[in-house]
Amino acid sequence: MPIRNLVLTDHQHELVETLVKSGRYQNASEVLREGLRLIEERERLQAAKLKALKQAARIGWADVSAGRYTDVADDRLEEFVGQLGRSAAERAKTAS
């Protein structure tokens, strides 16, 4: 297994020590590996969110290009969004 030297701030060092002393982790390496697993998971979730946003944007722009949209005046926007939310909640309620 490769060995790395790294520099921790005092705060990070104390956190690692506290986690090891708590018995949750056997040593500092376990703490750092857990941190890396969390980073991997966060990166995976962010990539999935970005993919979903890109897909939604493509669909949205296709809808705009095809004329499938509603113009809403600025002073009616809050009411319009509220109605969309109520409609979505009602659909979810009847679907379950």
> What does residue 23 show for φ and ψ, rounded to 5 degrees?
90, -5
- Residue 92 covered by a domain: no
- Residue 38 covered by a domain: yes
- Residue 5 covered by a domain: no
- Residue 49 covered by a domain: yes
Domain range for 42 is 10-70
- Residue 17 covered by a domain: yes
Asked whether 8 and 20 are in contact (CB, 8 A), the reply is no
- What mean pLDDT is reported for the chain? 96
Whether pTM exceeds 0.85: no
pLDDT at 96: 81
Distance CA 15, CA 17 (A): 5
Asked whether 19 and 25 are in contact (CB, 8 A), the reply is yes
Give the number of domains in the chain. 1
Joined tokens for residue 65: 């290009």
pLDDT at 1: 83
Residues 6+ apart with CB under 8 A from 80: 70, 72
pLDDT at 10: 98
Average pLDDT for 25-37: 97
